[in-house]
Amino acid sequence: MRVKQYIVETMPEAMLQIRKDLGGNAVILSTKEIKVGGMMGMFRKKRIEVVAAVEEEDKKEAKKQIQNQVASVPRSYVPEAYRQTARSFVNEASEAESAAQVVEQYADEKRKETAAAESMNNDSDRGRGKFESSTDYKPRPEGADFSGSSSAVQEPNKQGQQELMSELKELKKMMTQLSRQNELADPVPEEFLFLKERLSNQEVRTEVFESWFETVQTQLNAKELDENEIVQSVQQQILTFLEERIDAGILPGTRIVYVAGPTGVGKTTTIAKLAAEQMFKHHRKVGFITSDTYRISAVEQLRTYASILNVPLEVVQSPGDTQRAISRLQDCDLIFMDTAGRNYRNELLVSELQSLLAPVENSETFLVMSMTSKSTDMFEITEHFSKYGLDKIIFTKMDETGTCGPMINLLHHFPLKLAYVTNGQNVPDDLLKPDPASLTKQLLGELAK
């Protein structure tokens, strides 16, 4: 079996190529949509990948049928057919100029081959008498009688000339396709390359910044902006992206705030910062509940913050304890529940949170994530905790990294709203409301305008 792969724009185009290469008995094994072209991963175009196959016997039979259908071509018409077709290519469209040059070169090669063939046939004609009278004479293989009778050679064969012209038209079509592929590889403006390098260094994923670039490229094609405005336009795309994904912090009507996340991201310190913000800026009475009895120092750490802020603290170990603790804190305007940090790779440990994170009316669940985590880890963590309901996200340790791309990737992939960022250990000073303009400048660095 012979298997061949085709990359085409449309299925009809694939069918034509398959029939031409493999014959009418070929079968299509698979088809799928792919992206090709572009430069450095940008501006790729959709194409169809088709895999076809034919049994070798079927291929030989198809080839034999094609040979039988093709009439012999008079030598005297070969050069003229190529010249006429090449001239027609030039006259048909300006875009075929390069194809015509290739065709003329191809025709010259054919003329040389034809002249050589005529010379060989003349020599053969002069020696035919002696050759045929020899006892060693062997019949010529079928199809090898290129000269035939002199009258047949010189007789005009219009069908053969049409076959040659058809062949060269196929060559023109091939050159046109190559021209289209060259258009896909047109040079990308330098501004895009600078932006791609910067965003890649910031660990922004290709599919994220490519969506911004495609929008700007559309504006360029529509003459809505020039190349001097590319950076400014991409900056606006990022700004719009962040504005759509940044939300208010704790809502005024929220009664219970559940705080979840993996180990070591700073949940307890973040809770203290949130509590101080609500007390000093919004004048709300706050209470603490902690279920983190797995770490020896966890309860003591939150108890210290509760003492400093002068707020009540309840320690729970089961869902029943949680309901009783909420009842004892009914005089509080807002209750923060600190959950135990879990190894997000352990499904059993993470599922224990479901019994404690029981969203009730006027409650919100915040996921705390460290900016020092890798994008792949962030995705896996969020995927695990999303099973139990997440509303917003808080990114900690902004001061411990120079890249903010992983945060952008996460916001692009998950329907979470960014509520807060933290950039230090000080309570409550190092809790910030995210600012789209500041984050955009941090992402673009010196390229920001």
The string of DSSP codes covering 138-169 is: -PPPTT--SS--HHHHHS--HHHHHHHHHHHH
pLDDT the model gives residue 141: 47
> Are 322 and 243 a contacting pair, CB within 8 Å?
no
pLDDT the model gives residue 198: 92
Distance CA 144, CA 445 (A): 73
Residue 400 main-chain phi, psi, to 5 deg: -105, 10
Tokens of 404: 């903010």
For the four alpha carbons of 370, 372, 373 and 374, in that order, the dihedral sign comes to positive
Long-range contacts of 202-209 (CB under 8 A, 24+ apart): 202/403, 202/404, 202/405, 202/408, 202/443, 203/375, 203/403, 203/405, 203/406, 203/409, 204/405, 204/408, 204/409, 204/443, 205/375, 205/405, 205/409, 205/412, 206/41, 207/412, 208/408, 208/409, 208/412
Which of 320, 253, 312, 262 has its CA nearest to residue 292?
262
Dmax (CA) for the chain in angstroms is 124
Distance CA 37, CA 48 (A): 13
Sequence-distant (≥ 6) Cβ neighbours of residue 443 within 8 angstroms: 199, 202, 204, 238, 404, 405, 408
Q: Which residues of 308-326 are buried (b: 16+ CB within 10 A; e: fewer)?
A: ebebbbbbbeeeeebeebb
> Are 18 and 28 a contacting pair, CB within 8 Å?
yes
Question: Which stretches in the chain have pLDDT values below 50?
Answer: 59, 69-73, 75, 77-78, 81-82, 85-86, 88-97, 99-100, 103, 127-155, 184-185
**Topology of domain 247-433, CATH:** Rossmann fold (3.40.50)
pLDDT the model gives residue 220: 83
pLDDT the model gives residue 177: 62
Peptide bond into 74 cis (omega under 30): no
Cα 306 off chain centre by: 48
Which of 118, 408, 80, 435 has its CA nearest to residue 249?
435
| H or E element, residue 422 | strand 417-422
For the four alpha carbons of 383, 388, 391 and 396, in that order, the dihedral sign comes to negative
| Strand blocks (E) in 241-391 | 256-260, 286-290, 313-315, 334-338, 363-370
pLDDT the model gives residue 193: 87
For the four alpha carbons of 358, 359, 362 and 363, in that order, the dihedral sign comes to positive
In the DSSP assignment, the letter for residue 74 is -
Partnered with residue 394 across adjacent β-strands are 368, 420
pLDDT the model gives residue 203: 93
| Strand blocks (E) in 9-93 | 27-36, 45-54
pLDDT the model gives residue 57: 59
For the four alpha carbons of 21, 25, 30 and 34, in that order, the dihedral sign comes to positive
Which of 289, 369, 367, 298 has its CA nearest to residue 334?
289
Interaxial angle between packed helices 298-309 and 267-280, expressed in degrees from 0 to 180 and rounded to the nearest 10: 10
Interaxial angle between packed helices 436-444 and 190-201, expressed in degrees from 0 to 180 and rounded to the nearest 10: 100
Distance CA 111, CA 128 (A): 25
Distance CA 395, CA 378 (A): 11
Tokens of 423: 């950039």
Residue 259 main-chain phi, psi, to 5 deg: -120, 120
